[in-house]
Amino acid sequence: NQYVDSYTCTCPLGFSGINCQTNDEDCTETSCMNGGTCIDGINSYICTCKPGFTGSNCQNRINLCDSSPCLNGATCQDHTTHYTCHCPYGYTGKDCGEYVDWCSTNPCENQATCVQNKNQYQCLCGVGWTGKVCDVEMVSCKDAALRKVVPLKKLCNNGTCEDIGNSHRCHCSDGYSGSYCQTEINECDSAPCQNGGTCLDLIGSYSCKCPKGFQGQNCELNVDDCKPNPCQNGGTCHDLVNSFSCSCPSGTLGYICEINVDDCRPGACHNNGTCLDKVGGFECKCPPGFVGPRCEGDINECLSNPCSNAGTLDCVQLVNDYHCNCKLGFMGRHCESKVNFCATSPCQNGGVCTTIHAGHKCTCPEGFYGKNCEFSGYDCDSNPCQNGGVCRISDGGGYICDCPSGTNGTNCEIDTINECDSNPCKHLDAICQDKLGDYACYCPPKHTGKNCEIYDRGFPGGLGRAVVPTLDATSYYAKDLEKQRQQCNQNKCPVKRGNGRCDEECNTYACEFDGNDCSLGINPWANCTASTRCWEVFMDGICNEDCNNPECLFDGRDCEESLQPCNPIYDAYCQKHYANGLCDY
């Protein structure tokens, strides 16, 4: 099926419509002639004719002679409203069904006796007479001429005489009859001229003068007025008498179907198709991408499998077009080309681009990371966190401020708690001032302390400060030194003193600095006993665990964990807004 979300029906003759649901009307005003009634069929019609007419289109008048009403071989003549029978010899009546009563007319001469047999009669002649009606005397031609007192040559009038035995006989010329050829034969008596032709009797012959529309010796031929066919646009011609009639196909009008009715109604063709009028219908010229009798079908260009390359994901049907959806890493009209992801130089900050499947990879220089090396790892170096907030690198890039209680915001710049709400200032006249994560009490005279809770006669009033009790410094430090020396004994520092090894737990003033075992002089690796030559790999950027101890100076801090990369989202934002004259929290 070459249609998208559609279908077409190929209709049998006589039906139309999107689903072939319409039986086409085959009857027109001229389908049935002479008042016949048209009954529509399937790709056809039937005419019910009025009395007196017949034919597929009621075009023929019924010939009254078709039923052979005339009997005994009589000739029938149709006169539209009636018929007449021209009877053969010896018959009479309307239908020539009766015998002529010959003897009643006394046809026999010279006392002959008339005898009738069916349609014939016979004269029984007396002695000396012969002939059909016994009018020929049985003598020679010469004697007969003498007795009739006529010249011998004129005895037989329009014929010649011949002696036969003791009698004679006349041989008549064409067109004459009778015993002596005295009667001219009227060839028109047999009514040879048909279809209303006029008969002209001639000597031994006849001539028919035919009415218009007929021809032939006996006017038996109806002139075919349908040759050549005068009906236009496929009309059917019906020959009449000296005329014709056209049965016009659906969609045409006029005497000879010369008028073609325009069948291109609005909306006949879908999808901007152009309607072309035809006889009894129309034809649609479809724009590119559409097919069907009414351009109702949208051609599915994807059926020809244009997106057949390996890089194709699928084909999308469009109007008179298609689109190939490509797999990652492919491009082009038919996904025939691999994408060079490094062509646009996506790697920033000196990163090196390498094309990989369905994308690219950036090898970033030190201090940068991210898909395109767009992020920097030094976001906390600028100490962005305010009010004592602690900065740390976010796992996704950028930094996060861990804010102290009472503050909030990206950089801990927002005071979230009003410490004065708890009324910390104890004196009724004291004024509390809220601060970030703190508060201050402004005390009246003679009252001081953090909360104005201490009475002091000499205090003039103002900002109250916490009073720290004073201690005897000598007594305090002496007690602390004694406490540290007890710790030295617990760590067995007196025994470790002077063993040539730096014992960190004993390297304090109270423990006499481990007998100066931790003072290494000009050779800082004097106490380094690692198997590795730690001074050669010192601060080389590689962690050597043998050297990661105090004696070997912790391998130059090579084993310390590096800072986590900053959040790329914040880093990219800050790079864009760096030094723009505005403070971005």
Q: In degrees, to the nearest 5, what angle opens at C-alpha 573 toward C-alphas 567 and 579? A: 125
Q: Which residue type does 449 have?
A: G
Among 8-22, 259-273, 509-523, the range of highest mean pLDDT: 259-273
What share of the chain has pLDDT > 90, as a percent? 23
Categorize the per-residue pLDDT at 89 as very low, low, confident or very high, splitting at 50, 70 and 90.
Answer: confident
pLDDT at 565 over 70: no
pLDDT tier for residue 522 given thresholds of 50, 70 and 90: very low
- Cα separations in angstroms, 326 against 162, 330, 337: 121, 6, 10
Q: Where in the chain is the domain with CATH 2.10.25.10?
A: 301-338
Query: Which residue spans within 229-339 are E strands per DSSP?
Result: 236-240, 243-247, 252-253, 259-260, 274-278, 281-285, 290-291, 297-298, 312-318, 321-326, 330-331, 337-338
Query: In the chain, which segments carry CATH 3.30.300.320?
Result: 525-584
Q: Are 82 and 96 in contact (CB under 8 A)?
A: no
Element at 486 (helix H, strand E) = helix 473-490
Secondary structure class of 421 (helix, strand, coil): helix
Q: pTM for the full model? A: 0.39
Residue 372 has pLDDT above 90, yes or no: no
- Residue 100 DSSP symbol: -
User: Tokens 């099926």 map to which residue?
Assistant: 1
Q: Which pLDDT value is given to residue 535?
A: 80
CB 190 within 8 A of CB 96: no
Give strand pairing partners of 414. Answer: 408
| C-beta separation of 156 from 180 below 8 A | yes
CA 553 remoteness from chain centre: 80
Q: Is the peptide bond before 550 cis (omega within 30 degrees of 0)?
A: no
CB neighbours of 582 closer than 8 A, spacing ≥ 6?
none
> How far apart are the C-alpha atoms of 234 and 251, rounded to whole Å?
11
Which pLDDT belongs to residue 125? 92
Q: Of all helices (H) and strands (E), which one includes residue 568?
A: helix 568-577
Beta strands in 395-550 (DSSP E): 399-402, 407-408, 414-415, 431-435, 438-443, 447-448, 454-455, 462-463
Mean pLDDT, rounded, of the chain: 84
The pLDDT assigned to 371 comes to 78
Q: How many CB atoms are closer than 10 A to CB 306?
A: 15
Give CA separation, 89 vs 68, 180, 428, in Å. 18, 21, 165
* Type of residue at 97: G
CA angle 450, 455, 460 (to 5 degrees): 80
Mean local confidence (pLDDT), 120-135: 91
3-state secondary structure of 562: coil
CATH superfamily of 301-338: Laminin (2.10.25.10)
* pLDDT at 521 > cutoff 70: no
d(CA 295, CA 276): 13
Q: Are 393 and 379 in contact (CB under 8 A)?
A: yes
3-state secondary structure of 314: strand
250 or 581: whose pLDDT is higher? Answer: 250
Residue type, 2: Q
Task: Work out the pLDDT band at 562, boundaries 50, 70, 90.
Answer: low
How crowded is residue 386: how many other Cβ atoms within 10 Å of its Cβ?
17
Alpha-carbon gap, residue 468 to 480, rounded angstroms: 19
Is the pLDDT score of 473 beyond 90? Answer: no
| DSSP-derived pairing of the beta strands 290-291 and 297-298 | antiparallel
Report the percentage of the chain scoring pLDDT > 70.
Answer: 89
Dihedral sign for Cα 68, 73, 76, 82, please. Answer: negative
Specify the range with the lowest mean pLDDT, choosing from 46-60, 235-249, 320-334, 571-585.
571-585
Q: Check if CATH label 3.30.300.320 holds for domain 525-584.
A: yes
307-327 residue pLDDT tens? 888 888 889 888 888 899 988
Output the pLDDT for position 169: 93
CB 154 within 8 A of CB 161: no
Whether pLDDT at 269 is above 80:
yes
Q: Which of 138-147, 149-158, 327-336 has the lowest mean pLDDT?
A: 327-336
Gap between the Cα atoms of 158 and 173, Å rounded: 6
CA dihedral 62, 63, 69, 75 (to 10 degrees): 180
Residue 9, C-beta contacts closer than 8 angstroms, at least 6 positions apart: 17, 18, 19, 20
Strand, coil or helix: what is 199?
Answer: strand
Q: How far apart are CA 386 and CA 389, in angstroms?
A: 5
Cα–Cα distance measured from residue 449 to residue 34, given in angstroms and rounded to the nearest whole number: 132
Q: Identify the DSSP state of 516.
A: G
pLDDT digit string, tens, across residues 418-457? 889 989 999 988 999 988 778 899 999 999 999 999 888 8
Q: How far apart are CA 364 and CA 351, in angstroms?
A: 4
pLDDT value of position 474: 61
**Coarse DSSP helix, strand, coil percentages of the chain, rounded to the nearest 5 percent:** 15, 30, 55
Please tell me the distance from the alpha carbon of residue 344 to that of residue 353, in angstroms, as a whole number.
Answer: 10
pLDDT for 63: 81
Mean pLDDT across 89-96: 91
Residue 512 tokens, joined: 């006499």
Tokens of 140: 């020679």
575 band by pLDDT with thresholds 50, 70 and 90: low
**Continuous H helices in 263-353:** none
Best-predicted range by mean pLDDT among 6-10, 22-26, 97-101, 349-353? 97-101
pLDDT of 45 over the 70 cut: yes
Q: How far apart are CA 414 and CA 434, in angstroms?
A: 13
What distance in Å separates the CA atoms of residue 37 and residue 458, rounded to the nearest whole number?
136
Q: What is the mean pLDDT of residues 129-148?
A: 91
